[in-house]
């Protein structure tokens, strides 16, 4: 069974600064996908960024980037130039190739961006 651990229940950051959210996972699979989803106070979850395990290059999406350490089973999310609209709950998720579509989610990190 796969597990996803987010060790930071809550975090805060000043506007325009950088923050890193941590995520570790446990699996015996070699081929899988990793995701970060964002759930703002309006509640709809949206995809922030995704990474395929066989790719060594870290994924980036504008101000969002990941630090993927496969050996350490770590998948942290870095948000640069934080904006007030980044305030949300962030979930790290894991999905194997063989179980496509069915993700395992971490417990989430509530991020507050302060003005």
Partner 1 sequence: GAVVSQHPSRVICKSGTSVKIECRSLDFQATTMFWYRQFPKQSLMLMATSNEGSKATYEQGVEKDKFLINHASLTLSTLTVTSAHPEDSSFYICSAEGEGWGKPQHFGDGTRLSIL
Interacting residues with partner 1 (CB under 8 A):
33, 35, 37, 42-47, 50, 52, 89, 91, 95, 100-103, 105-108, 110
Nearer to partner 1, 12 or 18 (CB): 12
Nearer to partner 1, 71 or 100 (CB): 100
CB of residue 46 vs partner 1: minimum separation in angstroms? 7
CB of residue 5 vs partner 1: minimum separation in angstroms? 11
Report DSSP letters for 29-71, one per residue: -SSEEEEEEEE-TT---EEEEEEETT--SPPEETTEEEEEETT
The tokens describing 33, both together, are 């996908």
The structure tokens 């980037």 sit at: 65
CB of residue 91 vs partner 1: minimum separation in angstroms? 7
Ramachandran category for residue 54: left, alpha or beta (phi over 0 → left; psi -120 to 50 → alpha): alpha
């Amino acid at each position: 069974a796969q597990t996803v651990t987010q060790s930071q229940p809550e975090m805060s950051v000043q506007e325009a600064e950088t923050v890193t959210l941590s995520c570790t996972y446990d699996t015996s699979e070699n081929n899988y996908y990793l995701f970060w989803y964002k759930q703002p106070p309006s509640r709809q979850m949206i995809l922030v960024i995704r990474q395929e395990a066989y790719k060594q290059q870290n994924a980036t999406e504008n101000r969002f980037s990941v630090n993927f350490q496969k050996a350490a089973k770590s998948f942290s999310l870095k948000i640069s130039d934080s904006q007030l609209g980044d305030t949300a709950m962030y979930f790290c998720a894991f999905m194997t190739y063989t179980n496509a579509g069915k993700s395992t989610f971490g417990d989430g990190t509530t991020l507050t961006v302060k003005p």
